[in-house]
Each structure stands twice: as structure tokens, then as C-alpha cells.
Structure 1
Amino acid sequence: MATNFYFQITRLLNRNPDGSKATQAERKKVLKLVDSLLKELNVRNLELKNFGRRHAVKLLTHWQSQGLSAGTIKNRMSHLRWLSEKIGKPGLIPANNASLGIEKRHYVTNINRSRHISNEQLSRLNNRYLEASFRLQAAFGLRREECMKIILRFSDKGDHLVLTKTKGARPRTVPIRTQAQRELIDSIKKWVGDGSLIPKEDTYKTHLGRYERACIKMGLDRAHGLRHAYAHQRYLELTGNSAPAAGGPSTKGLSGADKLRDYEARMIISEELGHGREEVTAVYLGR
């Protein structure tokens, strides 16, 4: 049975639909988890207006005792910060994660997680919407929500795509560099018209489930490996070398012009993937 605390959170979420649909869904999931966990930790009859530092500390301590990764804990704390700001307690949770005893996120490096999909795998899906989404994801390094919600008639600007349905609602552009990319876009636009790559009769949630099952069928997990493959290809184009995670030279041995070229390439790739931070590229490219 839902508590009064969660009922009040639900009303708050409905009044404040901040961020993308994916962000809203994740926030709702985390805050529902918070409600359940507080009950397990013997917090009773909590009202939203009474949520305080002691509750946040109790949650944080429990998550740390479970051995959750720094990234997972940071994401959950960000949703608690959102909650505290909406109830008029912006300083309840410090903005500095280090002051909370949360270690700096360590980006895994030098592991090749790139994945590729064949025409045979795609043809077995027997679904042109999914096939088109996976092809766009591989060709442009799109996230899964982006590759389904994109409306090519409006996103296609000739030499680049403009993406608006993005994580955090931060618009970005991705270059159209090759004839193969151009032909892919044009072939999809012929039949999809003004629509997105979600069938008109389906909701995003319904189609997402279909997408996730397709990933399993093709052995792709969540298809994030397609973004890794895109990053590797762009790094090769921009630097002339394979990425460290793909067997290329380590950045530790670079100097002068090579070091600058590596940094500039990483910043370009980070922007194209929708991150904007050089350090994140270690996940995709290695060091």
C-alpha cells in the first residue's frame, strides 16, 4: 500500500514534469524506491514537508552499505536534491558529493564494448520501425530513446541531424558525414513521412518493450555497444588511430600535436554522443 509520503511525491511529480520522459520515469522509480526503503528502515508516518537531512543520510548510508557503485548513488542523490528543492529545502543535501562521502566516479577504461549488428540480424526482427532505429543508432551513435523518437523530416538539415528528444532535454547536432548515412536517412524518410520511429498506434513505453526484446534477441544487451562502435569509428576518422580500447596507442605515450589531436577528437565525440565532458570518453574510447 502506498504511503501518504509517496502520494504527496506523486502529486509533486505530476506538477513538475522536469526533464525528458526518460528522466521523469527514472526520477519516479528512484523516489518510489526511497519510499519503500524508508519503510524498511522503520521510518513511519513521514510527511513530505518533514523529509529532512536525517532521512537522506539514512538512505545514503544504506546504499553505501549495499556496495552500490558511486555512479548509482550519485544518480539517486540527484533525484533527492530535486525533491528537496521542490519542497523548499534546497540546502538539505549538499551539492558536493565528496562532502557526503561519495567517492569520485571511476570511468572504466581500455575495455572494448563496441558491438555491431548484421543485415541478417536486423531482417529477422521483421519490424521496419525497429530496424530503422537500430540502423540510425549505429550510424549516428544515438541513445535508444533518441533513435525511436527522432522525426527525420524535421531533424535532417542536410549535412547534420538536429536532435531535440534527448537526455536532459539538451539539443545537439550530429554530422552527416558519409553517403551511406545520407542514403539511410533518405530511405527511412520515404516511408515514415512526418512521423517518428514509433508506430502511431503504440506508446513509447510499449515500443520500448519491443525494442528491449529485440536487443535480447540480437544479443545486444541494451544496444549501448552501438554507441561505442560509433565513438571508435569517429576517433579513427579524427585522429588516424584506433581508440585505445580498440587496440590503438595509449594516451599516456602521446605528446605535443598527437596529445592535442586526441583531446580535440574526444571533445568532438563527447558532444556528438550528448555528454559534453572529455572524461566520459574514457568509457567509450579507453585511455
Structure 2
Amino acid sequence: MRCERTNPDVRNFGLKSRDMGFAGLNALKEEYKSFESIRTIHDRWNVFCSWAKAEQGIKDLRKVEVSHLMQYADHLRDRFESGDIKASTAQNYLSAVNRVMEIARGDNKVRVDPVKQGDLPKRSGISEGDKSISQERHDKATYNATERTGALLNLQRELGLRFEESAKLNANKALNQAQIKGAVEIRDGTKGGRPRVVPILEQSQIKALENARDIQNGRSMIPAEQSYKEFRQDAYKEVARLGVKFHGERHAYAQNRYEKLSGVKCPVKARIKHGNVHHKYIAREKGISVETAKSLDREVRMQIARELGHGRTDVTNSYLG
């Protein structure tokens, strides 16, 4: 039974603590009797509190918005792709935030479904649905977006960049590299500070870089008058209004590259199961043996993993199926 709070409109919705972590604990005590359930959810909630304070400067539950949870989902996905946490752990972390926010607020207005909205991988780590943004939806989004956000969406789709990488990209320098070397080195904003090289093979990639260069007014895509955190928050709010997700562009890059490199569609595009079924599909489409198809699939996934900034091919399962 929910307890009546003295003043639910003050900091942390009146949950008797100025600290978000303890406020979340008090919220859980309103709803749960099991000490084990409270401790488990609270431990996961504290992970979010640490992230929210460090990355968003948030210290009050009333300041948490859906756009923050979408950014947290991206953070959890990056941790999963880096091998830091399992897919199930990523989902549990976000679900814990949803539960605490629901109790604290008394409604479901600030929540993100881990898989459907947050694009976190299924517990198997293998995507069973296409999470890419179609060309039609991409064109509509960039048409309605501000110039800068539209440029970021194009960079992410054409170069396979994460949001932070696209925001911190020096487009002028990248364009020069693309024109001279036929490749772009991605350094700023990469996970773990690991640089990587993205090949430039399409005119659409050059066009995306030229467009970004024309908009850029400093050493990155971040406006001179804003910090990275401020810019990120505004950008996430905007794409939410546009009905797309930044990460969906990275999915599109991976899927398009798979088809270019292999000559066939990836599992989620072909709408068939990952593994032997897909290997047989490749063999049939290309007129090769299943063993050769399996080898081709592995080589292509390794290449895409490198271009996305990963050393593990199993990460591609969440993009390609």
C-alpha cells in the first residue's frame, strides 16, 4: 500500500531524502515488502543514479525525462557491446529505473521499454527484428529536422557512427581524409578511446561529410554556445519528436554494408533465422557451398564489427540477426 507523502511536489517527489539513490530506496519501500526485491532493484537503480549525476548533472528525480532514459539505454547498449554486461543485465538495469520512476511519480509517463523503445538487445543477444531506419523514414526525418540534427543522422547512417562520435566529428578534417585517403579515421567520442577507420566507398558518404562541413562552426558538430551535454539533450528531444532513434541509423549502416560485402541480405532483412538457415540461404543465392557461405558470413561480420568499432563479431548479431 502506497504511503501518503507529506509534500510530493518538493525535491525527489517528497521521498524523504535529497539523495536520488536513497529517495529511490524509499520509493521501493512504499511498494515492496520483500527485502530481497528492494535490494536488487535498488542496486540497479543506483547504477542509473551514478550515470545520471555524472553524465547529465541530474540530482533530483523530478528532472528525469524520457530523453534521459533513451540516452541511458544507449549507454547500456554500449556496455553490452563492449562485453561489460550481458543483454539481460542491460534490460534489468533499465527496468529498475522504470519501476522506481513509476512509484516516485505515481504514473508511467517517464519510462522506456527496454527492447521496443530502448533498442536493447534481446536476452539472446540476437536481433529477431529489423531495427534500422528505412530510407523513407530517414528522408522524412532529415527533411523535418533542424540542419544540425539532420546532418548527424546522415553521418550516423553513412559512416556507422554512434551519436557521440557524430557530434564530436571534425567534418572538415574528415572530408579531407575521405577525399585524399578514401577513408575516415574516427577518434573523438569513441568507446574506450579506440580509434577506427571507416572506408569511404559511396558518393552519399562524401555528400554527408560535405553537408556536415558546411554546418560546422567550430572543431566539431557541437554548437559553439553549447556544451556537449546540452547539445545531446536537445538532439535526443528532437529525434523523439521526429519519431526516429539515432541508433537506428547505425543499424542501417551495418545492414547496408552486409549486403554490399556479401551480396545477400542479412538475416533480419531476409527475414530468416540466424545461423545454419541463413548460411543455406547465402549458399543458394550465391551458388556456393554451405561451408563457403559460413566462412563468407564470418568474414563479413568481422569487417562490419571493425567498422562499428568492435573487436567481437557476436556484437553484429544485434544489428544483423
Q: TM-score, normalised by structure 2?
A: 0.57
Partner residue in 2 for 1:106: 124
Provide closer, same or farther for how the CA distance between residues 61 and 114 of structure 1 changes in structure 2, counting only shifts above 3 A. closer
Among 115, 118, 133, the alignment partner of 1:115 is 133
Partner residue in 2 for 1:140: 159
Provide closer, same or farther for how the CA distance between residues 237 and 152 of structure 1 changes in structure 2, counting only shifts above 3 A. same
- Alpha-carbon distance between aligned partners in 2 of 1:41 and 1:213, rounded to the nearest angstrom: 29
1:74 offset after TM fit, Å?
A: 8.2
Provide closer, same or farther for how the CA distance between residues 257 and 273 of structure 1 changes in structure 2, counting only shifts above 3 A. same
Q: Are residues 1:275 and 2:295 paired?
A: no
Provide closer, same or farther for how the CA distance between residues 176 and 194 of structure 1 changes in structure 2, counting only shifts above 3 A. farther
1:61-76 aligned at under 5 Å gives the runs 69-72=88-91
Which letter maps to 1:272?
A: E
Among 213, 222, 235, the alignment partner of 2:237 is 213
Identical counterparts, % of pairs: 30
User: Any idea what SS the aligned residue of 1:161 has?
Assistant: strand
Which letter maps to 1:277?
A: R
Partner residue in 2 for 1:182: 206
1:179 offset after TM fit, Å?
A: 1.4
Partner residue in 2 for 1:202: 226
Runs of 4+ in 1 over 4 A off after TM superposition: 32-42, 58-64, 72-75
Q: Deviations over 1:195-252 (max 9, x none)?
A: 21111111112211221122112211x3211111111101101111101111166431
User: Any idea what SS the aligned residue of 1:109 has?
Assistant: coil
- Alpha-carbon distance between aligned partners in 2 of 1:138 and 1:144, rounded to the nearest angstrom: 11
Among 170, 175, 180, the alignment partner of 1:151 is 170
- Alpha-carbon distance between aligned partners in 1 of 2:257 and 2:243, rounded to the nearest angstrom: 24
RMSD: 3.4
Residues matched between the structures, number = 214
Provide closer, same or farther for how the CA distance between residues 191 and 256 of structure 1 changes in structure 2, counting only shifts above 3 A. same
Which letter maps to 1:119?
A: D
Partner residue in 2 for 1:17: none
Partner residue in 2 for 1:236: 259
- Alpha-carbon distance between aligned partners in 2 of 1:105 and 1:249, rounded to the nearest angstrom: 19
Partner residue in 2 for 1:265: 300
Q: Are residues 1:256 and 2:291 paired?
A: yes
Provide closer, same or farther for how the CA distance between residues 33 and 278 of structure 1 changes in structure 2, counting only shifts above 3 A. farther
Provide closer, same or farther for how the CA distance between residues 257 and 74 of structure 1 changes in structure 2, counting only shifts above 3 A. farther
- Alpha-carbon distance between aligned partners in 1 of 2:123 and 2:217, rounded to the nearest angstrom: 42
1:72 offset after TM fit, Å?
A: 4.6
Partner residue in 2 for 1:223: 246
- Alpha-carbon distance between aligned partners in 2 of 1:35 and 1:168, rounded to the nearest angstrom: 31
1:124 offset after TM fit, Å?
A: 2.0
Structure 2 unmatched runs, 5+: 1-10, 13-18, 30-37, 45-86, 95-121, 280-289
